[in-house]
Amino acid sequence: MTDICIYAQVHQPFRLREYRLFDIGTEAAYFDDEANRRLLRRVADKCYLPANRLLTQLIRSSGRRFKVALSLSGTLMDQLAEWAPDVLVSFQELVATGGVELLGETHGHSLAALASAEEFRAQVAEHRRAIQRWFGQRPTVFRNTELIYWDGLAPEIAALGYQAVMVEGADHVMGWRSSNHVYAASGTPGLRLLPRNYRLSDDVGFRFSNRDWDGWPLTAEKYADWLQAAGGDSIHLYVDYETFGEHQWADTGIFAFLAQLPEECFRRGLRFVHPSSLAARPPVAELSFPRPTSWADMERDTTAWLGNQMQDSAQARLYGLRAAVLATGDPALLARWKRLTTSDHLYYMCTKWFADGDVHKYFSPYASPYDAFVAFMNVAQDLEQATLAAAPVRPAAAGQEGEVEAYLGGMACVA
Amino acid sequence: MSSTAPRSGMRVLMFGWEFPPFQAGGLATATVGLVKGLLRTAVDVTLVVPFHAEQSPLPALRLVSADGPADLVVHRVASPMTPYGGVAAYAEAQAALARGERRRGAVYGADLFAEVERYAGLAGAIAAREPHDVIDTHDWITFAAGLAARRVSGKPLVAHIHATEYDRAGAGANPEILRREREGMLAADRVVANSHALKRTCVERLGIPAAKIDVVHWGIDGDGFPARVTVPPVFRGHAPGARAKVPVVLFLGRVTWQKGPDYFIEMAAQVARFEPAARFVVAGQGDMLPWVIRRAAELGIADRVHFTGGVGGEDVHRLYRLADVCVMPSVSEPFGLVALESLRHGTPCIMPRTAGVAEVVRHAFKVDFWDIQAMTNQIVALLRHRALREELALNARRELASPRFSLEEPARLTAQSYRRTRPPTASAR
């Protein structure tokens, strides 16, 4: 019997204002609150609220036989708490059905894993506290930003108490093997890997409304047939939550598809499972990810975020400020710095598809990747000046341990 | 024989512009580029160009077809007309000729419009003896010549439009020039505009039917680009530990209302506040030059702004190479070849978002020409962050390597327009 494991990512970044040279040293507001609030409301109305309602109903009517996992980024939870408490309540009600498992991730939806192990731990811990605070759950399965994962990260994740990780079932990793099984992390056998079945995931996430696709129109019946035919122990379907109503608009029939899917699956003897229940199963084999692998693009690597000189230098600049920001002990400065770690800021600087005019692939608030870089670096400059101006609470010579404690303590105040 | 392009058997009689020796004008560069491209795509060209009797004509237009089949015949017609010839500019040129008394027997028209008619008369004579299948003209000054040629030969006429009087002069547009632009395009069998923006101007402001206008964006090649340039002493860093070269911000173009030199100089003063070592180069001539020089002094940056006057040949390449960024704050820029030249040299460019070139180039900063703060923001970032400069240069160079930016592509599209003209009358074939 094949099990179905569905996980959807819920994330919104704090987009920057068009922060100019002239703002450095005079303007402390880095983020475009008005646009961020407006975009949150739009996606909430089109996706989060209707999708939450539908999932709640499907879980209840199936007697919790229908199950999903969600991962909410810390920046999203911050935005919901501040600007859309009704939507936060909607998520809480959904989670209260008992049919939703929440995953762990970095609070800032950041690339900290690639930059600073210490920051990675701090953000994972902060995210865990936020999930605890808003939903009363303690995640046991982890997903890193954009599914970025490699062997070297496994011990870190295991040490933080997680039993399994969502990873990309990339061809270059899977080879002849099927993604429809539970695997063990190479070198860290206690950690389970749940590789994404990207074909079946992208059928819904990307291709659902594509009329040139030979699978169009995709009905729940047809899709359930495909799931049944796919075989294996468990099929791991990971998509953006925004697939439902935002990437695929309501008029494409995406909600009707989702509404009928559980019943079609039950009829074929397919079961829905939470990732944590898969984590308890014995692995069929080890999987090795020698290089950081993500779920993005054809390359499935990290070049969408760290693939050009601007991105590398922006990332270096940001993490170069970390120690000094922590040393100030100023929670407001730290909160601003942390929101800059969100991967979207680097994504906006990506030049890979820009030449093709293929900008519809991603949403960017900027006219070009170059404008994104300029705004980010101006903000970094201001943050550096603000950091220098702030009196450090402790001497710069303070040990690393002390700094991290200050960070963790400081973050609690910020929330 | 190498990969010889199939001979199209088409010969175009073109009334164009020769690259003037001491002026970096986009129109002349564009028509020379078009001729090069046509020759490479095996379209034969008879090029008629006016030359200033005051200057000696260039010894030869060095346009050689790589593959041999196409050929070029150049006719030079003595005339003080210039591609950007306003009425006042013509009067000035006339006066200069009178002072120099170097008329070489040519009889010029009393004013610009009379000269245009005189030129048209000569065009008719050339059309009568030069075999051709289609006539191509470049901007309003040559439209009358094209019409005269068509009357003689009965061959179809294409009107290339590079800029309208609205673009050059805005509210100060000369109504007679506007009338001639409009009538030339209406009378032509086909119109070629160098951008969608310019096509819109022709349709909306001059009433030209959209269906008869083709859009052909310009390309560029790297011919004659020097491999390496040395930094002249004036741009060398002197302070201990300074970079080998001071940061250079370039304005290259006619110093006229259309090109926005006034925005450039205000922007320079802002940039100087943040980057005191930066130098600014204003390369070009025009009626606003005295004003810009005075303004630089008022702003207290006279020591940091270099006015080169008109530059040509090697010096143009040298300037692009030395510059860290090329800024084009044009009020109106139907295309903007300077941007392509700059990017081809690997120098990042800031262009108006309304420029024709902005329709095709993606890897550049695009701004509102009046937004001095936005330009300052981008320039300072470019001067401060090597990653930004190199990423822009790298991506733009890759982008321009695409065949769509070659000289052949606009030539191919132009030849298509030639073929789209109404079939020649029975007597003409």
Residues B310-325: pLDDT tens digits? 887 788 889 999 999 9
Q: B11-219+406-428 domain in CATH 3.40.50.2000?
A: yes
Q: What is the DSSP string of A206-257?
A: TSTT-TTSTT-S--HHHHHHHHHHH-SSEEEEEEEGGGEETTEEGGGTHHHH
Q: Is the pLDDT of residue B54 over 80?
A: no
Q: How far apart are CA B346 and CA A400, in angstroms?
A: 44
User: Using the beta-carbon criterion (under 8 Å), do A355 and B362 form an inter-chain contact?
Assistant: yes
Whole-number pLDDT of residue A156: 97
Residue of B nearest to A351 (CA): B395
Closest approach of A359 to chain B, Cα-based (Å): 11
What's the pLDDT band for B265 if we cut at 50, 70, 90? Answer: very high
Task: Answer with the residue of higher pLDDT: B31 or A161.
Answer: A161
Of B364, B377, B399, nearest to A374 by CB-CB distance is: B377
Whole-number pLDDT of residue B234: 78
Task: Answer with the residue of higher pLDDT: B100 or A170.
Answer: A170
Of B274, B392, B399, nearest to A370 by CB-CB distance is: B392
**pLDDT tens, position by position, B382-422:** 999 999 999 999 999 999 999 999 999 999 999 999 999 96
A/B interface, count of CB pairs below 8 Å: 67
The answer to which of A182-196, A288-302, B35-49, B227-241 has the lowest mean pLDDT is B227-241
B118-128 mean pLDDT:
91
What's the pLDDT band for B230 if we cut at 50, 70, 90? Answer: confident
What would be the CATH architecture of the domain defined by A3-287?
Alpha-Beta Barrel (3.20)
Closest approach of B383 to chain A, Cα-based (Å): 11
Whole-number pLDDT of residue B32: 83
Q: Is the pLDDT of residue B187 over 50?
A: yes
Asked whether the bond before A139 is cis by omega within 30 degrees of 0, the reply is no
Whole-number pLDDT of residue B235: 80
Q: How far is CA A155 from CA A165, A297, A404, A405, in A?
A: 11, 27, 20, 22
Note whether B3 and B232 are within 8 A (CB): no
Question: For chain A (length 415 residues), average pLDDT per consecutive 10?
Answer: 96 96 95 97 98 98 98 98 98 98 98 97 97 98 98 97 98 96 96 98 95 95 97 96 94 97 97 97 97 92 95 98 94 96 96 60 82 98 95 52 51 39
What's the pLDDT band for B64 if we cut at 50, 70, 90? Answer: very low
Q: Which residue of A309, A364, A368 is the best one to mutate when testing the B interface, meaning the one whose CB has the most B CBs within 10 A?
A: A309
Q: Is the pLDDT of residue B55 over 80?
A: no
Q: Is the pLDDT of residue B103 over 50?
A: no
Note whether B259 and B330 are within 8 A (CB): yes
B108-129 mean pLDDT:
87
Q: Which residue of B385, B390, B398, B402 is the best one to mutate when testing the A interface, meaning the one whose CB has the most A CBs within 10 A?
A: B385
Instruction: Write down the mean pLDDT value for chain B.
Output: 86
Whole-number pLDDT of residue B88: 76
Closest approach of B162 to chain A, Cα-based (Å): 26
CATH 3.40.50.2000 domain span(s) along chain B = 11-219+406-428, 233-403
Q: B233-403 domain in CATH 3.90.1150.10?
A: no
Per-domain residue ranges of chain A: 3-287, 309-414
Residue of B nearest to A369 (CA): B363
Residue of A nearest to B402 (CA): A355
Q: How far is CA B166 from CA A24, A358, B72, B163, in A?
A: 39, 34, 33, 8
Whole-number pLDDT of residue B427: 46
Q: Which residue of B354, B395, B404 is the best one to mutate when testing the A interface, meaning the one whose CB has the most A CBs within 10 A?
A: B395
How is chain B split among helix, strand and coil, in percent rounded to 5?
Answer: 45, 15, 40
Q: Which of B172, B106, B185 is nearest to B142 (CA)?
A: B185
Q: How far apart are CA B28 and CA A187, in angstroms?
A: 67
**pLDDT tens, position by position, B205-224:** 999 999 999 999 999 987 76
Interface predicted TM-score (ipTM) of this complex, two decimals? 0.87
User: Using the beta-carbon criterion (under 8 Å), do A355 and B398 form an inter-chain contact?
Assistant: yes
Q: Is the pLDDT of residue B243 over 80?
A: no
Would you name the residues of A annotated as active-site residues?
146
Whole-number pLDDT of residue A410: 43
